[in-house]
Amino acid sequence: MTPLETLQALDIRATGEARPLSGGDIGRVWHVPTEHGELLVKHADSDALSAEAEGLEALRDAASGLLVPEVVGLLEGALVMTFLPPTRPSKADQQRLGEGLRKLHDHTVDEHGWHRDNFAGTTPQINTPNNDGRVFQREQRIMALARRCRDQGRLDAALYERLERIAHALESWLPNAPASLLHGDLWSGNVHFSDKGPALIDPAVYRHYRDVDIAMLELFGTPDAAFFEAYWNAGAPDDWPRRRALFQLYPLLNHLHLFGGAYLSGVRAAAERLPER
């Protein structure tokens, strides 16, 4: 099905050509002007698109002040949403991003996880709920992906055993805490600065420690100082370097699983910053 055929199936008339956009790692994406405004059409695996659509709605419902594309239609293998024209961010945009994420993370419950599994890239993301965040982090994040990487031959026995000790030592230093609503895959490419303000795209939502989104933002880039001033309005946690290392383990393991040995040194470096007992 072409993007125009997708729109026709939703009784939406295009008023111009479909223009392919770059950056879609798990599917193909087009920008299409239509009678209902500018839309984005995404073609990918149906289960992944269903999870993405639900995540977008959850983020919109949280009313954080951040923009989130509106889901216009969901079909087999296709997701249609509003298009937000990109722009270069200002200091005010960085501040709005920090304030918005803080408000998003203020939406908390006791239970870590989500009512359904979804995807971290193309990797199935297991979200089985648990009231203890340490148990959730150990079973559904660190060890779930450490086993995948070990079984692929991308994680040697010594490092796997070290990760296992780290995972079982979490209760010795990491307090349990309420679970925040997270974007879940918040690298810099999923922060979209539009001409209407900062937006969140391509989520993999679940509920867990609020640190997860911030650690991910710092993994492949350094957010502007104005962002941190707005987000850490009461100051970062005293043990932030250690917490950051912990919550970067999962995306590093996922990149090792998906892309191979270039990420092994990152996994090893993060592990070296974490206690094993």
Q: CATH code at 260?
A: 3.90.1200.10
Reported confidence tier of residue 27, pLDDT bands at 50, 70, 90: confident
Q: Give the burial string for 20-31 (b: 16+ CB within 10 Å, else e).
A: eeeeeeebebbb
Using one digit for the tens of pLDDT, what is the confidence trace for 185-203?
Answer: 999 999 999 999 999 999 9
| 184 and 266 both lie in a single domain | yes
Residue 152: its pLDDT value, please?
A: 97
Is 167 part of a structural domain of the chain? yes
Reported confidence tier of residue 63, pLDDT bands at 50, 70, 90: confident
List 11, 61, 185, 224, catalytic entry? 185
Using DSSP bridges, classify how beta strands 191-194 and 197-200 pair: parallel, antiparallel or unpaired.
antiparallel
| 177 and 96 both lie in a single domain | yes
Residue 111: its pLDDT value, please?
A: 98
| 194 and 260 both lie in a single domain | yes
- Maximum alpha-carbon separation in the chain: 62
Domain boundary among 17, 48, 82: 82
Is 119 part of a structural domain of the chain? yes
Is 277 part of a structural domain of the chain? no
Contact 102, 231 (CB under 8 A): yes
Is 183 part of a structural domain of the chain? yes
**pLDDT tops 90 at residue 222:** no
| 196 and 221 both lie in a single domain | yes
| 235 and 131 both lie in a single domain | yes
CB atoms within 10 A of CB 153: 8
Contact 82, 69 (CB under 8 A): yes
% of the chain exceeding 90 in pLDDT? 93
Residue 267: its pLDDT value, please?
A: 98
Q: Give the burial string for 77-107 (b: 16+ CB within 10 Å, else e).
A: ebbbbbbbeeeebeeebbbbbbbbbbebbeb
Better pLDDT: 150 or 223: 150
| 114 and 74 both lie in a single domain | no
The predicted model scores a pTM of 0.95
Q: Give the burial string for 219-243 (b: 16+ CB within 10 Å, else e).
A: beeebbebbbebbeeeeeeeeeeeb
% of the chain exceeding 70 in pLDDT? 99
**Total count of domains within the chain:** 2
| 24 and 138 both lie in a single domain | no
Output the domain CATH number for residue 53.
3.30.200.20
Domain boundary among 82, 107, 128: 82
Q: In the predicted model, what is the mean pLDDT of residues 129-147?
A: 98
Q: How many CA atoms lie within 13 A of 77 on its CB side?
A: 7
Closest CA to 42 of 190, 196, 202, 200: 202
259 CB-near residues (< 8 Å, 6+ apart): none
Is 262 part of a structural domain of the chain? yes
Distance of alpha carbon 174 from alpha carbon 35, whole angstroms: 52
Is 107 part of a structural domain of the chain? yes
Residue 117: its pLDDT value, please?
A: 98
Domain hosting 112: range is 91-272
Q: In the predicted model, what is the mean pLDDT of residues 18-47?
A: 91
Average pLDDT, the chain: 96
Closest CA to 254 of 263, 245, 246: 263
| 99 and 182 both lie in a single domain | yes
Q: In the predicted model, what is the mean pLDDT of residues 203-215?
A: 97
| 31 and 166 both lie in a single domain | no
| 67 and 126 both lie in a single domain | no
| 132 and 67 both lie in a single domain | no
| 129 and 237 both lie in a single domain | yes
Residue 138 is classified by DSSP as: I
Domain boundary among 82, 103, 138: 82
Could you confirm whether 185 is annotated as catalytic? yes
DSSP SS3 for 127: coil
Environment class of 266 (CB within 10 Å of its CB; exposed 0-12, middle 13-18, buried 19+): middle
Residue 25: its pLDDT value, please?
A: 63
